[in-house]
Structure 1
Amino acid sequence: MSGSSNVWIRTREKLRLFPELFAECSLEAAAYGKCVAATTTNKQELKKDLCAKEFEALKTCFTNAAKKRSK
Structure 2
Amino acid sequence: MSGPNVWSRSRDKMRLFPELFAQCSGEATAYGRCVAATTRGRQELKKDLCAKEFEALKTCFTNAAKKRAR
Please state which band the TM-score falls in when normalised by the shorter chain.
over 0.9
Cα distance in 1 between the residues matched to 2:42 and 2:61: 29
**Runs of 4+ residues over 2 Å off in structure 1:** none
- Counting only pairs closer than 5 Å after superposition, residues 3-14 of structure 1 correspond to structure 2 as 3=3, 5-14=4-13
- Which structure has greater helix proportion? 1
- The amino acid of 1:7's aligned partner reads V
Residue 42 (structure 1) shift: 1.2
TM-score (norm 2): 0.95
Gaps of 5+ in 2: none
Identity %: 80
TM-score (norm 1): 0.94
- The amino acid of 2:48's aligned partner reads D
Residues 1:22 and 2:21 aligned together: yes
Residues 1:70 and 2:65 aligned together: no
Deviations 1:1-58 (A, max 9, x none): x70x311111000000000000000000000000000000011000000000000000
Gaps of 5+ in 1: none
